[in-house]
Structure formats: C-alpha cells, structure tokens
Structure 1
Amino acid sequence: MRLVLFAALLAAALPAFAAGPARPARLGLCAACHGEIGIAQMPGAPNLAGQRLDYLRNALAQYRDGRRDAAVMRAAVGPVSDAELDALARWYSAQAPAPQAQP
C-alpha cells in the first residue's frame, strides 16, 4: 500500500520537475529585448538562453547595482528583488540555447 501511494505521489510530482523553472513574474520587460525563451528579439541584445546560472545571476545583480554601466539594463532591473533576479536567471539558464548558424 505504501509503495502504491509513493508511486502515485512521485508520478504527480514528475511533470513539475520536468517542466523546469516556473515562468518568472518579471519576465515581460526582459522578454521585450531578450525574448521570452532567451533568444534575442532586437539587434544587439544578447541571447540569454542556456547561459550559466551563476553568470546570469551575477550579471543581473551587477546591472541592478550599477557595477555594469548600461542605462537600459539598470532601468530594467533596478526595482527587481534578489528573489526575482534568481527566478529570471533560473528561467533563462534552463532554456535551450539558440542553434548555431551554419558557416
């Protein structure tokens, strides 16, 4: 009986793990330039999909704190909390990177 209950609970939880991180509430402003899944939507904006989690988290914090000087990024992430920065970094790091262009 316990094994059946455990298997049922595990089966119910697996889709949440397989789906990856939840879509961050603050994604909209980032998506305007970087795309919802991290594939840039405007020229000059970098792709964020598949970037390392620690790199994204640190870069976002540096933009927010002014250690990286980019006015548009400072304005975009200035009011974002540490938890929201973490959620954005987790989201973009979990996305599949853009395919490489063939030479």
Structure 2
Amino acid sequence: MTHAFTRGLILMVLCCLASVALAAESGEDKPAGSDWVSQAAQTCASCHGKKGVSQTENFPILAGQYQDYLLHSLKAYRDGERKNAIMSGQVQGMSDDQLKALARYYSRQESPLYTPTVE
C-alpha cells in the first residue's frame, strides 16, 4: 500500500469513530428521525458516496439495495457476525431502529445499477 492511501484510510477510520462517539455522546440511542438519518448518511457518504452511490469499486453501492438485506448486513456488522473494522466501528452502539432507518433510506435511493420497470 502507498503511504498516501494508508494515511487516507487511517484518517477515514478516525473520522468514522469520531462520528460514532459524537452520536453516543449526544444520546442518539432514540429512534432515528430524518435529521439523524441525514447526519448518518453524510458520514456514510465518505466511503459509499452521496446517497449511497459509491464512485469506487472499493466500497459497495448501497442505493437501491433491498431494505432487509441492508438491515441484516448492518446488524451483522454491529453484532460482530460480519467482520470489517470500519463498518463495525460505524454501527457500534446504534439501535435496531437506527439501523432500520438507514436501511430504509438507502433502499429508497435510486441505483445506477438498474432502472426499475413501471407496470
């Protein structure tokens, strides 16, 4: 790995952990409202792109994914069933309601991977 990439990765991890700490400090264990989802989505955008449309192959596109799949994945990261230091740090301490709100948000975003058919 290049030094620039490594520094960037470390900076991103630190930013992610700081956002989790701030959310926990502000008592954001309550159900996720639209303001909370907007703030969380801004943090997610640093890797997954605006509205979940990643611009790099290193991070998956979240936009338009099935809500149940996203929720299952987020819970697996939070509960340690799925291993990724960045994602685990992001969702650690989030309630089921907050994870559900994030999954709902990203499932409702338009995906560049396919165009839904209208019947």
TM-based fold match above 0.5: yes
* Aligned with 2:82 (options 52, 60, 68): 68
> Highest Rg: 1 or 2?
1
Return the alpha-carbon distance in structure 1 between the equivalents of residues 60 and 103 of structure 2: 14
More helix by share: 2
Q: Which AA in structure 1 matches 2:93?
A: P
State the 4+ residue runs in structure 1 displaced beyond 2 angstroms.
none
Deviations 1:15-72 (A, max 9, x none): xxxxxx9461422221111123110144400000000000000000000111001111
Return the alpha-carbon distance in structure 2 between the equivalents of residues 86 and 33 of structure 1: 20
- Aligned pairs, number: 80
Q: Which AA in structure 1 matches 2:94?
A: V
What CA RMSD, in Å, does the superposition of the two structures yield over aligned residues?
Answer: 1.9
1:57 aligned partner: 71
1:82 aligned partner: 96
Q: Which AA in structure 2 matches 1:91?
A: Y
Alignment of 1:1-103 (within 5 A): 22=34, 24=37, 25-99=39-113
Partner of 1:37, secondary structure, is: helix
- Identical-pair percentage: 43
The answer to whether the 8 A contact 2:65-2:107 is kept is yes
Gaps of 5+ in 2: 1-32, 115-119
The answer to whether the 8 A contact 2:80-2:88 is kept is yes
Q: Which AA in structure 1 matches 2:101?
A: A
Return the alpha-carbon distance in structure 1 between the equivalents of residues 53 and 60 of structure 2: 8
Q: Which AA in structure 2 matches 1:66?
A: G
The answer to whether the 8 A contact 2:41-2:51 is kept is no
